[in-house]
Amino acid sequence: MFDADDIRYSPAEERPPWELSPNGRVREHFSCRKVDDTTAGYCHEVEQHKQARIQAEARRSNVQNDIQRQRAAVRQRMAQEREDARRRMVEAREAAQRRRAQSGMEQPGNGNPPHDPRGDRYIYNDLPYGAPPAAPGRPKQKRSSLTGILLIVIIAVLVTIFVGFYTETYSGSDTPFSAEEEAEPDDWTPPWAEGGTPWRFTPEDEDEKTAPDDEKTALPRAELNGALTLDIHSAEGRQPLSYQALYEQCLPSTVSITVYTEDSGGTGTGIILTEDGYILTCNHVVSDGVTCTVTTFDDTVYDALLVGGDPQTDLAVLKIDAEGLKPAEFGDSDELTVGDEALAIGDPLGVELRGTLTNGIISAINRNVTVNTYSMTLLQTTAALNSGNSGGPLLNIYGQVVGVNNMKMISNAVTVEGLGFAVPTSVVKDIIPILSAEGKVSRPVLGITCAGIDAETAERQGEPTKGLLVSSINEASNAGEQGLRVGDFIFSVNGTEVVSVEEVKSILSDAQIGDDVALVVLRPDDDGGLEELEITITLVDQADLK
């Protein structure tokens, strides 16, 4: 998860970032969805997001009440119109019968047809022999009925618009080719009840992957042959390239990746690391895959083996049996400044559009994003990224790879444009040697999911105390065996009071896997009091979490 991580976050389905506490107040959680098109995530500004979510809930409630009132008024008005129409029809029939009786129309032999035994409920379209005119008011009845139907249609459209405004929809995996479409849920749940936010981060591929790569993937493993070293080159003194020259130079170093799961599949993009077939891509592109193929720019297809993956940094390394490939040149992301030109090459929406070049700028540097429990420090770019771009290169104007594209921000509630993200090469150069040598990145964690509650938040939400609220315990941790429970408040770690995950990370920054951590835990009782407990937990490897 984080470097020297101390907290194991759970998937958003297990613990949403927001829920109602027993006293009916909104409770905040630091749980987030994976970087992909079928799930949701959010940035660190959780307090502002929470207020926006509460206001959205109130607005939606008001809208629903207004719609219900409008529906009731329309039903009442239509019922009254039907009753008035029936009354007018009865009066018209009676008036027609009186006119016929007075004029002698009912007597045969006077040039008029005999009385129609079917009664007066039928309308005459032509009027020979002085047949009675259409019942007065009938055209008005038609207009009233049409008005009611039109009102119902308008109300239905308004309901659809408002429900679509507040409901998050998920785009699915990177150009998936599944045999079956997933059914829509019957009951709609507002996004704030599931930890939804006005926006979400979506990687360009695959469904949510939360467990470590070696736990979840079924891809065959490549033999580890030692650490790869990623050479980073400075852009100082180089001449900018034209877009045409840049594309011609960088396309041969970009590959298409196709991943097959047990019942579906998806696509992504990769970057050639070495001449003998080491490929860099995003971890979420290949996790959960059963088989994987890599297609080079000359349309040669290779079977790929997994060298290693790290879900926290969203990086993975593959190996194909090839020679003579053209490795990409990697630049120094630390040299970037906001406003620098940035370009992306990849397979948006699948291999049909492979090798697409998009351009933009670097719009932010060191952007902290928390997605599906993992905190990442990413480059932000306006270069267009879509499903299928994950794992592809983000390039500077000199043709150097300065980032690995891995996600974008989208929304069903507000307009979001030009917010793409990439893992900077400053992170890539530290992770690749570890993945290539060990196949995974080991980090010490407590194996629990917590939400930070400071004093102000505790008072506002009606929580009994400040601290870290335990929301889940991973079975790979011994926290449950030592007596920790969901709903407990961690008051201090190794003798230091804590109210946030970042504080725990700082305290355990030098800790190792297997070290014991002393916790002071406050447990609410049935009488509204707090029971103080001392619990010792052993740090576990993040890669061992389930």
Residues 540 and 517 in one domain: yes
Average pLDDT along the chain: 76
The answer, yes or no, to whether residue 267 has pLDDT greater than 60, is yes
Per the structure, how many domains does the chain have? 3
Q: What is the pLDDT of residues 16-71, one digit of tens each?
A: 445 555 555 555 444 343 344 433 344 445 556 666 777 777 777 788 888 888 88
Q: What is the pLDDT of residues 407-462, one digit of tens each?
A: 988 777 777 788 999 999 999 999 999 999 999 998 898 989 888 888 888 888 88
* Alpha carbon separation from 118 to 87, 123, 173 (Å, rounded): 20, 11, 65
Q: What is the pLDDT of residue 309?
A: 92
Instruction: Determine the Cα–Cα distance for residues 83 and 78; give it in Å rounded to an integer.
Output: 9
146 pLDDT tier (thresholds 50, 70, 90): low
Residues 139 and 261 in one domain: no
The answer, yes or no, to whether residue 214 has pLDDT greater than 60, is no
Lowest mean pLDDT among 229-243, 265-279, 366-380, 528-542: 366-380
Q: Which of 382, 414, 436 is the last residue of a domain?
A: 436
Q: What is the pLDDT of residue 78?
A: 86
Q: 426: closest CA among 535, 515, 489, 336?
A: 336
Lowest mean pLDDT among 19-23, 192-196, 244-248, 396-400: 192-196
Q: What is the pLDDT of residue 103?
A: 67
Residues 380 and 250 in one domain: yes
Grouping H, G, I as helix, E, B as strand and the rest as coil, residue 150 is helix
| Non-local CB neighbours of 246 within 8 Å, separated by 6+ positions | 343, 395, 397, 399
Residues 301 and 344 in one domain: yes
| Mean predicted confidence (pLDDT) in 475-491 | 92
Residues 422 and 335 in one domain: yes
Residues 529 and 397 in one domain: no
Residues 157 and 222 in one domain: no
The answer, yes or no, to whether residue 387 has pLDDT greater than 60, is yes
Task: For residue 46, tell me if it sits in a domain.
Answer: no
CATH (domain of 484): 2.30.42.10
Task: For residue 191, tell me if it sits in a domain.
Answer: no
Q: Which of 392, 414, 436 is the last residue of a domain?
A: 436
Residues 486 and 390 in one domain: no
Residues 273 and 338 in one domain: yes
Residues 219 and 339 in one domain: yes
Q: What is the pLDDT of residue 47?
A: 58
177 pLDDT tier (thresholds 50, 70, 90): very low
Residues serving a catalytic function are 284, 314, 390
Q: Which residue has the tokens 């970009």?
A: 254
CB 330 within 8 A of CB 428: yes
Task: For residue 450, tell me if it sits in a domain.
Answer: yes
Q: Which of 436, 461, 494 is the last residue of a domain?
A: 436
Q: What are phi and psi of 89, to 5 degrees?
A: -65, -40
The answer, yes or no, to whether residue 141 has pLDDT greater than 90, is no
Report the DSSP pairing between strands 530-538 and 516-524.
antiparallel
Q: What is the pLDDT of residues 89-105, one digit of tens each?
A: 888 888 878 877 776 65
Q: What is the pLDDT of residue 38?
A: 39
| Mean predicted confidence (pLDDT) in 348-356 | 88
CATH (domain of 277): 2.40.10.120
| Mean predicted confidence (pLDDT) in 200-218 | 44
Q: What is the pLDDT of residues 508-545, one digit of tens each?
A: 888 999 999 999 999 988 887 888 999 999 999 887 87
Residues 392 and 498 in one domain: no
Query: Domain span at residue 516?
Result: 18-31+443-544
CB 191 within 8 A of CB 57: no
Residues 276 and 421 in one domain: yes
pLDDT greater at residue 494 or residue 117: 494
